[in-house]
Structure 1
Amino acid sequence: MTPLVTGLITRTSPFGVEGLGLMLVELSVVEQRYHAVMEVLAGIPVTEVATRYRVSRQSVHTWVKRYREGGLAGLADRSHRPRCCPRQVDGQIEALICELRRAHPGWGPRRLVHELKRREVTPVPSRSTVYRVLIRAGLLEHTTRKRKRGDYRRWERSTPMQLWQMDIVGGVFLADGTEAKVVTGIDDHSRFIVCCDVVARATGRAVSTAFAHALKRYGVPGEVLTDNGKQFTGKFGGPRAGEVLFDRICRENGITHRLTQVRSPTTTGKIERFHGSLRRELLDHHDPFDSIIHAQAVIDTWVTDYNIDRPHQALSMASPIDRFTSTDSGPEQQAAVLPLVLPAELDVINGQTPDPVVETEPAPAIATMPANLLRLKEMGPSPAAAPITIEMDTVVPASGNMSVRGQQLWLGPDRAGTPVTLRISTTHLRVLLAGVLIKTVGSKLAASDLHALVHNGKARQVDEAPTAQQPTSTVIEVERTVNAAGCVGLANKAVSVGFPLADRQVVLRFETTTMTVLDATERTLLRSMPTPLTTRAVAYLRGAQPGGTPPTPPPTGPVTVERIASSSRSVMIGRQRIQIGRNHARKLITATIDDQHIHVHDGPNLLITVPRTT
């Protein structure tokens, strides 16, 4: 509709009409609509009015309706904004997104969508929706991407153990003010971290030692990709430069050592991306470490979570361990067919002098050792010593690294303070938690060492080694915090324990086929349900401990609960639906439950008594 209309203006005088003038008068939109409405009310057909004002017939009918309802004010322009948006994200879901982002500032939209799926949120918002929620809440700054993701050419090996990327990163500050380095390695196909060793100085020997540890633990890859650092290659060492120790290890074990172009960090983009995550999520906000051992323990814990629990965006939110599998033959089988060749300078890897660790049971001083044990130690393993199997109870130290007469046993800081039982023979060293076998390594102890432990009272002799069968009376407990959705995390799964327990600290007690939920402070029974895990899987849970005192039994006698009656005149009590009548819909109802009956009250008035069937 045009805002201009043409009008005739006349001017008169005592002598008659002096002249006829023509001028344009500008009318507002409301005035034009008012004129159109007046014409319709005067009896002019709607079609003719719509043609004159160049609008549709529906618009003219709308103006007439608005004028009759609101007068002249009803003809003003109105907002075209819809009253409701069916695709708008629910307020509770938006609050959960903001809560997760504040608790984990490093989580982006893609990770938040994955976490919402794990919490069984329906419907799951898209990544762009989560991004807009974070922008509105001020939890994310809008930045323009310099280059599109499609501009980069991505490459990836088809199977694990084909290619490792290795590099060195700093930023590990110690309490004495020095900065340590981390030698890192990642499997190209699975993004599994195969090496993350903290060293005081990134010398060629230290880097090669870390590389040798990774080879001994995971096997020999087909290729290794590094930059042109002097620890990895002697290519830029001048005319007298020779083969460095790292290159020698690769050559003697048949590993193809590939180098990047000069000043091309994107070639090793996977390991550089891991460095960014390590700095952002751990090193940048962590206090200076007490020592290299302390730094190694903390980084090992973070790397374990990175490899096993944390979803990876480049793997379609799968964990690296889901794609990382050993080669057709593991490190032990590889060593039997094609032994790992290490230079003489790295004989330390074979076990003579391992890295410094915190020992939980130091060997007694020579001056205080009995004469017969001193002779056994000087003579070494005696063929006359009868092979035995012993058990000893101990507690995992804070570092997660245990020592039994010189043999190191790594359980990780996650199990610090956990009581465990060590069952040791001359061939195997087994770790049991509440009777469940959780780890087995080869034993380096001789029969004389086992007899010495029994003689000192630190161990007891048993008849035979444990079997792989699960015990029938195992009780294991773990402590968890229930999230806002009423779920707890168990073995990388979200297990629902009830929305009423949200944000509470609980103890999960596993007994054979039953999982009971206890209050963490008073150890009162809150709920019981079938266990979602096997006994062996329970023993591998983070923070698993042998079961403590049984839970406090629930109080005896009748139980009183409150319910709000539904519009269908019924209440659900103990999985039993009870009809109470239409007059009590949407009212607060009190129910008293005893062993035989359920009594429903509306205030002091008894409404109904029904037999208890559940």
Structure 2
Amino acid sequence: MKPKNLVIVRAVREQGLNHAEAAAKFGVTRQWVHTLVTRYDAEGPDGVATRSRAPHTRPGTTPALIRDRVVQQRIDLTAQGADAGPATIAWHLAHEGHQAPSTATIRRILHAAGLITPTPGKRPRSSYIRFQAELPNECWQADITHWYLANGTRAEILDILDDHSRFLLDIRPATAFTGPMVVTVMTELISAYGPPASTLTDNGLVFTTRLARYKGARGGFEKLLAAHDITQKNGRPGHPQTQGKIERFHQTLKRWLHARPRPDTIQDLHTLLTEFRTWYNTQRPHRSTGRRTPEQAYTALPKATPTGTRTTEWRSRTDRVDAVGTLTLRYAGRLRHLGIGRAHAGTPVLMLIHDRDVSVSNADTGEIIAEHTIDPSRDYQPRKR
């Protein structure tokens, strides 16, 4: 109780001062004297005790139910290996039918619960220069990462992502991926989704031979893209930021895999990746697509198509016909055997290659001794008659 309040009341009630006189004597307003006397008459001495000035209700306060749900969402999403940031939590709350608070409020709730680890050294998102394809199939990003099986064996994972929508077109494991394996996957995707306008990859030999130590034929991946007039783009060596979307995707993938037991076999890993692909494409909202799922973003707009101009391959090389009358030539990432004839065994030759057409001449005389049109589906290439 504030003693002054009681003195004011007793001066009115017991000493006969009116409200104006008491206000003047004690340096308060007449309204305040009236309020104190009214409270005293209704509640006695407790009525003139000091009262909190806090509002009786706080309509802007986040309800306890929502605060608890925010905390539980953070715990559940983290346990699942999913993104669990404030924006993602807000999306899940809205899809549960709740009135989601702002992301700033969610962040404060998580801080209060001790569920956020400060990272002051982290580069701010606003500092990045961002680019994104305007349409689905305008650019596909592809890369190979790895994961370890339960016995410590290292497995490779090939993933191909649509740049515009982040739709995961394909993801599969193998002990090690070769150029022909990548070509097979890409061929399946072109049949299923149509050819993209362009691709973006690093400089791995399964994607390009442009930085190969020994220059030679284009790889199978390059040949496939050229056949469909698809523009091929490669990042600068040592600069993975160029393929930033698929590099960031690997963080999401591995966070999800970390939340599950290590698979025992490649097939077990394949089963896990199939489950991940369904979750990633159809259940996980993506910040860069307006909190739509990748599948929703991929199907929302018409698909881009190739606009590149087909480039032809010209090259030459020298060799010597082997003892059984054949030459070897690498085409589309695979070594082919060209039939020349036993009569030319040991002959030094000049090979002129124009895409699939090969002309073989005697290096000493210039006489053309064989011509071939490469059949990409077979190893041995008989000469034209």
Asked if Structure 1 and Structure 2 have the same fold, meaning a TM-score greater than 0.5 normalized by the shorter chain, the answer is yes
Count of equivalent residues: 305
Query: Is 1:256 aligned with 2:234?
Result: no
CA displacement 1:75-117 (0-9 Å, x = unmatched)? 5543333333334444555555555444433344433333343
Query: Is 1:81 aligned with 2:54?
Result: yes
Q: Secondary structure, in 3 states, of the residue corresponding to 2:296?
A: helix
Q: What is the letter of the counterpart of residue 161 of structure 1?
A: N
Q: 1:46 to 1:271 in 2, by over 3 A?
A: farther
Aligned to 1:358: none
CA displacement 1:419-450 (0-9 Å, x = unmatched)? xxxxxxxxxxxxxxxxxxxxxxxxxxxxxxxx
Equivalent residues of 1:308, 1:321 under 8 A apart: yes
Structure 2's unaligned 5+ residue stretches are: 311-330, 336-385
Aligned to 1:280: 255
The equivalent position to 1:158 in structure 2, one of 125, 134, 137, is 134
Deviates more, 1:246-255 or 1:183-192: 246-255
Output the CA distance in 2 between the equivalents of 1:62 and 1:128. 41
Query: Is 1:320 aligned with 2:294?
Result: yes
Query: Is 1:308 aligned with 2:282?
Result: yes
Output the CA distance in 2 between the equivalents of 1:304 and 1:235. 35
Structure 1's unaligned 5+ residue stretches are: 1-28, 348-614
The equivalent position to 1:176 in structure 2, one of 123, 133, 151, is 151
Q: What is the letter of the counterpart of residue 110 of structure 1?
A: A
Q: Which has a greater percent of helix? A: 2
Q: 1:346 to 1:127 in 2, by over 3 A?
A: farther
> Under a length normalisation based on structure 1, what TM-score does the superposition of the two structures give?
0.42
Q: CA deviation at 1:278?
A: 1.0
Q: CA deviation at 1:137?
A: 4.8
Equivalent residues of 1:161, 1:327 under 8 A apart: no
Output the CA distance in 1 between the equivalents of 2:16 and 2:236. 86
Which structure would you say has the larger RCO, counting Cα contacts within 8 Å and 6 or more residues apart?
Answer: 2
Output the CA distance in 1 between the equivalents of 2:238 and 2:333. 32
Q: CA deviation at 1:191?
A: 1.1
Output the CA distance in 1 between the equivalents of 2:49 and 2:254. 59
> Under a length normalisation based on structure 2, what TM-score does the superposition of the two structures give?
0.63
Q: Secondary structure, in 3 states, of the residue corresponding to 1:104?
A: helix
Equivalent residues of 1:312, 1:320 under 8 A apart: yes
Query: Is 1:299 aligned with 2:276?
Result: no
Output the CA distance in 2 between the equivalents of 1:144 and 1:330. 39
Equivalent residues of 1:231, 1:244 under 8 A apart: no
Output the CA distance in 1 between the equivalents of 2:30 and 2:145. 73
The within-5 A match list for 1:10-409 is: 30-34=2-6, 36-37=8-9, 42=15, 46=19, 56-66=29-39, 77-105=50-78, 106=82, 107-121=84-98, 123-138=99-114, 140-141=115-116, 143=118, 146-170=122-146, 172-204=147-179, 206-234=181-209, 236-237=211-212, 240-242=214-216, 245=219, 246-261=221-236, 263-281=238-256, 283-325=257-299, 345=333
Identity percentage over the alignment? 32
Equivalent residues of 1:161, 1:326 under 8 A apart: no
Q: What is the letter of the counterpart of residue 293 of structure 1?
A: Q
Equivalent residues of 2:175, 2:266 under 8 A apart: yes
Q: CA deviation at 1:135?
A: 4.5
Equivalent residues of 1:199, 1:206 under 8 A apart: no
Equivalent residues of 2:218, 2:333 under 8 A apart: no
Q: What is the letter of the counterpart of residue 164 of structure 2?
A: H
Q: 1:327 to 1:214 in 2, by over 3 A?
A: farther
Q: 1:174 to 1:75 in 2, by over 3 A?
A: same
Q: CA deviation at 1:186?
A: 0.9
CA displacement 1:110-157 (0-9 Å, x = unmatched)? 333333433334x4544444444444555x226367455444443222
Equivalent residues of 1:209, 1:346 under 8 A apart: no
Output the CA distance in 1 between the equivalents of 2:334 and 2:18. 102
Equivalent residues of 2:137, 2:304 under 8 A apart: no
Q: CA deviation at 1:193?
A: 0.8
CA displacement 1:332-384 (0-9 Å, x = unmatched)? xx9xxx9xxxx65579xxxxxxxxxxxxxxxxxxxxxxxxxxxxxxxxxxxxx
Q: CA deviation at 1:208?
A: 4.5
Output the CA distance in 1 between the equivalents of 2:75 and 2:259. 15
Equivalent residues of 1:164, 1:187 under 8 A apart: yes
Equivalent residues of 1:192, 1:307 under 8 A apart: yes
Output the CA distance in 2 between the equivalents of 1:207 and 1:316. 32
Equivalent residues of 2:217, 2:332 under 8 A apart: no
**RMSD of aligned alpha carbons:** 4.0
Q: Which has a greater percent of strand? A: 1
Equivalent residues of 2:138, 2:304 under 8 A apart: no
Q: CA deviation at 1:192?
A: 0.7
CA displacement 1:195-235 (0-9 Å, x = unmatched)? 31212225555545444443343222111122344544455
Q: What is the letter of the counterpart of residue 294 of structure 1?
A: D
Q: What is the letter of the counterpart of residue 154 of structure 1?
A: R
